[in-house]
Amino acid sequence: MAENTITLAHGSGGRAMSQLIEDLFRCAFDNPWLNQGNDCAVMDSPPGRLVMATDSHVITPLFFPGGDIGSLAVHGTLNDVAMSGGKPISLSVAFILEEGFPLADLERIVRSMADAARQAGVPVVTGDTKVVPRGQADGVYITTTGLGRVSEGVNIAGSRARPGDAILVSGTLGDHGVAILSLRENLQFQTTLESDTAALHELVASMLAAVPDIHCLRDPTRGGLSCCLYELAQQSGVGMIIEEAQLPVREAVAGACELLGLDPLNVANEGKLVAICPGHQAQALLAALHHHPLGREAAIIGQVVEDAHGLVRLKTRYGGMRHVEWLAGEALPRIC
């Protein structure tokens, strides 16, 4: 029994850890950098500018429709890299495992990470494993860090939104958060709600090819679209107006949100992005988005306006205008 679970020895630095690394991690992630077998990875430095991003992943449940903590941990960090306009070049991964965690589950997660990394074309070059005694974590937490290369001429930052700019989203809102919540609350739907977890760097590359002067990119994860827009508005010192009628939300997600008392604007996404670009380039950017499988349901959802208070407002379906709420509390712990 104990042979099929994680023990404290797997985090000891000794022989059991060595074997776990050899048999599981190196085998799954197999690449020349990881195979160096050192506590670090040495690689060629890319020309130009470098981008670095990190994210811990503590989602529960570990496995969900559309993905698992492993694929999420790869996509989440690749997307943070991609939001600089960068092309990801490497990932590191650090596991915090709870004593007693089933080895079969760890294997499933690691294989899913390896698949996600391979599909994205980004090697997992180095890593770390810690084990904490039973009851001091919940199964597994995964921290990934990504490196990427930013090309000449690309200059994307949260501070670059300007009045007159257009605001776009790459697809439907709230899919990830609602899929996880439905699972936790054991809600039944006629259609299966799936997380949208996906790596967005190739989508970003096609967007940049069409519109090199994108001002801002950000992925609306925890806190959803509303938090994402508030952050950008505050950073740029501008206001935003979005139109309810333009927001792409799946029917099943809208229904579940009603049932759960949630606003899709506040719900996490893991395979979507918000883009802000000069107003006259919005149609070109939308066309580029629609051309890519991950942007088929993209929409222009609003515009940047002058506003010293950095407010985000919503034009309702009925023509009214209200402030979008900037989430103060927490409805959805461990959503990512």
- Residue (of 133, 169, 122, 172) closest to 285 by Cα position: 169
**How close are the terminal C-alpha atoms of the chain, in Å?**
30
* Residue 243 Cβ vs a second copy, minimum distance, rounded to whole Å: 22
Q: Which is nearer to a second copy, 253 or 265 (CB)?
A: 265
Q: Which one-letter DSSP state was computed for residue 102?
A: B
* Residue 298 Cβ vs a second copy, minimum distance, rounded to whole Å: 20
- Does the protein bind a second copy through residue 270 (CB under 8 A)? no
| Interaction residues for a second copy, span 12-71 (CB under 8 A) | 12-18, 36-58
CA dist., res. 225 & res. 54, Å (int): 20
Q: Which is nearer to a second copy, 146 or 295 (CB)?
A: 146
Q: Which one-letter DSSP state was computed for residue 25?
A: I
- Does the protein bind a second copy through residue 145 (CB under 8 A)? yes
For every residue of 259-318, DSSP letters joined together read HHT--GGGS--SS--EEEE-GGGHHHHHHHHHHSGGGTT-EEEEEEE--TT--EEEE-TT
* Residue 149 host element (H or E): strand 140-150
* Residue 188 Cβ vs a second copy, minimum distance, rounded to whole Å: 25
User: Reduced to 3 states, what is the DSSP secondary structure of residue 323?
Assistant: strand
Task: Give residue 203's region: left, alpha or beta (phi > 0; psi -120 to 50).
Answer: alpha
Q: Which is nearer to a second copy, 46 or 255 (CB)?
A: 46
- Does the protein bind a second copy through residue 164 (CB under 8 A)? no
Among 174, 224, 271, 310, binds a second copy (CB under 8 A): 224
- Does the protein bind a second copy through residue 261 (CB under 8 A)? no
**Which range of residues in 11-19, 168-176, 198-206, 309-317 is near a second copy by CB under 8 A?**
11-19
Q: Which is nearer to a second copy, 220 or 295 (CB)?
A: 220
Q: Which residues are 241's β-sheet partners?
A: 303, 313
**Which range of residues in 82-90, 108-116, 200-208, 286-294 is near a second copy by CB under 8 A?**
82-90
| Interaction residues for a second copy, span 303-332 (CB under 8 A) | 326-332
Q: Which is nearer to a second copy, 167 or 286 (CB)?
A: 167
- Does the protein bind a second copy through residue 157 (CB under 8 A)? yes
How many other C-beta atoms can be found within 10 angstroms of the C-beta atom of residue 107? Answer: 14
Task: Give residue 178's region: left, alpha or beta (phi > 0; psi -120 to 50).
Answer: alpha
Give the count of residues interacting with a second copy (CB under 8 A). Answer: 89
* Residue 174 Cα to chain centre, angstroms: 13
Among 23, 61, 136, 283, binds a second copy (CB under 8 A): 136
- Does the protein bind a second copy through residue 205 (CB under 8 A)? no
Q: Which residues are 63's β-sheet partners?
A: 68
